Structure 1
Amino acid sequence: MQSRLLKRALIIFVAGFILLLIGLAAAWYLREPAPPPQSRIDGGSTGEARIGGPFELTDQNGELRRARHFSGQYMLIYFGFTFCPDVCPTALTNMTQALDLLEEGAPAKANQVVPIFITVDPERDTVEEMASYAEHFHPDLVALTGTKDQIAAAAKQYRVYYEKVEDASASNYLMDHSSYIYLMGPEGEYLTHYTHQTPADELAEGLERYIK
């Protein structure tokens, strides 16, 4: 009798533990933005990656920029915000260093790449703020901002997740956002993506491999 009770208790314990693991896994999955699908060129899904599209934003010089203005060039795009404490600076620094490495090894290919930074925090990231921030990174960096609707439209095209994280101080809030560096082809087609943690040398190798 006692053996049967112990066996039943063990079964209940194991079942409960499994349910707990399933619950934790589900919570993590819902919290973490899913990475964008791979295009055929990456050896992933054979379907066409639905990433990228038209946008209309303003650069750090106050000039209107549309996606079609970059036609014929490879766009290296990152969405973030200037008040980001570490993730965004890391991504932009890696982009800068990767382009410097590409310039050393394959200058003709480096000239075909336009690094682009698009804010997800238009409330604080004004044209002036973007201009000041862009000076810390690659000299060719195009820093884009716009209205809330324009940013939302651009983020939707690139499947970028972002959300304002409220803080006690209204001016010191953070932005929770996905952190991918997209490489787009000369016709605006999605080629591949990297993360903000991709080392500069690895990113440079990837650029050299994709750029014709």
Structure 2
Amino acid sequence: MPTRPWLRRLVVAELAAIAIVLAVVGWYVWQSRAAPSLNGMLLDPPQEIPAIQLTGSDGQPHALTDFQGKVTVVFFGYTHCPDVCPMTASTMARARAMLGNQADRVQLVFVSVDPERDSPERLASYLAKYDPTFLGLTGDEDRIRELATVFGVHYAKVESTSALGYLVEHTSSSFVLDTQGKLRAVLPFGLTPEQVASDLRALLRR
């Protein structure tokens, strides 16, 4: 018995609709794998970072673009900081330790917003208490300000009666560069080491 034309058209339309649904589902599955869910904020597309050189806690010149091939966590702070900086350094050290054999693929860089007091030697001593692989950067105030502006980081000296001397108010988020040296994610202050480690694993898989 010959197939009615309207029935043939209906079957074709249904097959086309199914194909569209499958394509949409496939796209969402691909997106979910390509863009991991993070506790922090994923930047897509990632942002280019200029090669601004500062002096490292190892006494050598470094730019953030030097660490391509690794996931780099960047934090702006200072060694006289009474709260946010030691908490962040501790969190990052614990998160890195949780990565096991992937830990060597992660570099933390601590950019000083207090170059007046943070010499390379002081940064080295301070960071070694948390993780000997952490690298500090300090140097010319104008270059630090330029680099901070790239990340949208704000900081300002605040006079204080504290025994620590003056304080520096500063942005508390950390920033993650992907293996291509591009800004890929922002980690808000207050994440647990487990949450940070989870985000770093996701970014290492990309």
Superposition TM-score tier, normalisation by shorter sequence = 0.7 to 0.9
Match of 2:114 among 109, 121, 124: 121
Structure 1 residue 160 corresponds to structure 2 residue 153: yes
Aligned-residue CA RMSD in angstroms? 2.4
Counterpart residue number, 2:123: 130
**1:56 and 2:42 correspond:** no
**How far apart, in 2, do the equivalents of 1:52 and 1:128 lie?**
26
Would the alpha carbon gap of residues 183 and 168 (structure 1) be closer, same or farther in structure 2, given more than 3 Å must change? Answer: same
Consecutive unaligned residues in structure 1, runs of 5 or more: 1-39
Partner of residue 193 from structure 1, selected from 186, 198, 203: 186
Supply the distance in 2 between the matched residues of 1:183 and 1:164 (Cα, whole angstroms). 25
Aligned to 1:209, the other structure's residue is in SS state helix
Q: The residue matched to 1:164 in structure 2 has which SS?
A: strand
Distance 1:87 1:162 in 2: 13
Q: Give the percent of matched residue pairs that are identical in Structure 1 and Structure 2.
A: 30
User: Structure 2 vs 1, CA of residues 172 and 101 (structure 1 numbering), >3 Å: closer, same or farther?
Assistant: same
Q: After the TM superposition, which segments of 4 or more aligned residues of structure 1 sit over 6 Å from their partners?
A: 42-47
Q: 1:46 to 1:59 in 2, by over 3 A?
A: closer
Shift of 1:53: 3.0
1:176 aligned counterpart, secondary structure: strand
Compare CA radii of gyration and give the structure with the larger one: 2
Q: SS of the residue aligned with 1:198?
A: coil
Distance 1:199 1:56 in 2: 31
Distance 1:136 1:170, change over 3 A: closer
- TM-score when scaled to structure 1? 0.72
Instruction: Give the deviation of 1:47 after TM superposition.
Output: 6.2
SS in 2 for 1:92: helix
SS, match of residue 111 in structure 1: helix
TM-score, structure 2 as length reference: 0.74
Distance 1:176 1:76 in 2: 20
Partners of 1:165 and 1:100 in 2: how far apart?
34
Question: Shift of residue 203 of structure 1?
Answer: 0.6
Unaligned runs of 5+ in 2: 1-33
Which AA in structure 2 matches 1:81? Answer: Y
Q: 1:169: how far off?
A: 7.7
Q: 1:94 is matched with which residue?
A: 91
Stretch deviating more after TM superposition (79-88 or 153-162) = 153-162
Residue in structure 2 matched with residue 15 of structure 1 by the alignment: none
Q: Confirm whether residue 73 of structure 1 aligns to residue 89 of structure 2.
A: no
Q: Which moved more, 1:67-76 or 1:114-123?
A: 67-76
In the alignment, which residue of structure 1 is the partner of 2:24?
none
Deviations 1:76-128 (A, max 9, x none): 1111000000110000100000000112xxx1x32211111111111111112
Question: Cα distance 1:203–1:146, how it changes in 2: closer, same or farther (>3 A)?
Answer: same
